[in-house]
């Protein structure tokens, strides 16, 4: 009996989910993927790669930009810097046009514009951004995924739950940045980044070990509140599945060494 009890305890501990990092879900793994850098212009030309090809994903751009913003700005700049060519002579006749001069102006403008486009695409790439820039983009992703301005439209309502559109509350102005779901997702990002830092620094970094402990317990407190408020409903299950945690990370005691 004692041996069977030890085996069951060992199996239970081996199948237990880490209450700090959880399991690797699609949402969690997406934060470990670094934005791809754009190749240098000279290398791209030498390897038959278009140097003007930029990022297509919003999460790969810095400075609050989107691919649509860049495309619109490039087109506007091209239009404003386009050389003015007067095809009429002093007598008002278009018979004598210096086509060579016109082609040279257009060619020079095109080269200058392409050089500027390639430079701006590399400057605005998140791959050359700082750690705080990447953290800001990750927070924006959490807001876009778990904000109630999105989940109110995508997640099904719990049976008996009131319709948000029929409530007398003041309509939300802008995206939802402060709900428990968003804060839990942002804390999960911070916890993973800090845990990765401690793996490199080792056990000597006691200051950040304390910070990690505080973040984990703060997340646990928010999850307890969310479970109690939503009564274990759709919103709570959606967050728990996304961050890869189970009930032990919410109700159990979290021991960190």
pLDDT per position as a tens digit, 119-139 = 999 999 999 999 999 999 999
Share of the chain above pLDDT 70, in %: 91
Assess whether pLDDT exceeds 80 at residue 241: yes
Residue 170 burial (CB count, 10 A) = 6
Does residue 5 lie within any of the structural domains?
no
Does residue 14 lie within any of the structural domains?
no
Determine the average pLDDT of the residues in 161-180.
80
Do 143 and 119 fall into the same domain?
Answer: no
Q: What is the pLDDT of residue 73?
A: 95
Q: What is the pLDDT of residue 142?
A: 94
Assess whether pLDDT exceeds 80 at residue 243: yes
Residue 79 domain boundaries: 41-85+97-124
Residue 256 is given by DSSP the state: -
Do 196 and 120 fall into the same domain?
Answer: no
Looking at per-residue pLDDT, the higher value among 118 and 53 belongs to: 118
The mean of the pLDDT values for the chain is 86
pTM of the model: 0.82
Do 30 and 150 fall into the same domain?
Answer: yes
Looking at per-residue pLDDT, the higher value among 47 and 257 belongs to: 47
Does residue 199 lie within any of the structural domains?
yes
Do 113 and 202 fall into the same domain?
Answer: no
Tokens (6 digits) for 55: 């990022």
Q: What is the pLDDT of residue 83?
A: 86
Do 73 and 133 fall into the same domain?
Answer: no
User: d(Cα 248, Cα 17) in Å, to the nearest integer?
Assistant: 8
Do 223 and 107 fall into the same domain?
Answer: no
| Number of domains forming the structure of the chain | 2
Do 133 and 59 fall into the same domain?
Answer: no
User: d(Cα 23, Cα 246) in Å, to the nearest integer?
Assistant: 9
Q: Read off the pLDDT of residues 219-229 as tens digits, 9 standing for 90 and up.
A: 999 999 999 99
What are the residues facing 61 on neighbouring strands? 125
Does residue 2 lie within any of the structural domains?
no
Do 145 and 180 fall into the same domain?
Answer: yes
User: d(Cα 30, Cα 32) in Å, to the nearest integer?
Assistant: 5
Q: What is the pLDDT of residue 174?
A: 85
Assess whether pLDDT exceeds 70 at residue 92: no
């Amino acid at each position: 009996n004692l041996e069977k009890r030890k085996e069951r305890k060992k199996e239970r501990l081996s199948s237990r989910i880490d209450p700090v990092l959880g399991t690797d879900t699609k949402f969690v793994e997406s934060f470990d993927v670094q934005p791809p850098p754009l190749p240098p212009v000279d290398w791209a030309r030498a390897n038959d790669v278009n140097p003007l090809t930029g990022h297509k994903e919003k999460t790969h751009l810095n400075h609050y930009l989107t691919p649509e913003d860049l495309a619109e700005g490039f087109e506007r700049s091209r239009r404003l810097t386009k050389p003015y060519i007067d095809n009429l002579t002093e007598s008002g006749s278009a018979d004598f046009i210096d086509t060579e001069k016109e082609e040279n102006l257009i060619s020079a403008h095109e080269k200058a514009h392409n050089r500027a486009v390639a430079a701006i695409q590399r400057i605005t790439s998140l791959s050359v951004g700082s750690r705080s820039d990447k953290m800001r983009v990750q927070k924006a992703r959490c807001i876009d995924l778990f904000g109630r301005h999105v989940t109110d439209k995508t997640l099904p309502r719990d049976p008996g739950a009131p319709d948000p559109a029929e409530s007398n509350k003041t309509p939300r102005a802008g995206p939802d940045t402060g709900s428990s779901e968003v804060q839990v997702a942002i804390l999960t990002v911070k916890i993973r980044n800090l845990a990765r830092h401690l793996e490199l620094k080792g056990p000597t970094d006691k200051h950040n070990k304390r910070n990690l402990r505080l973040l984990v317990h703060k997340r646990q407190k928010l999850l307890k509140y969310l479970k109690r408020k939503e009564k274990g409903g759709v919103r709570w299950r959606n967050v728990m599945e996304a961050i890869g945690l189970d009930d032990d990370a919410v109700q159990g005691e979290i021991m960190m060494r």
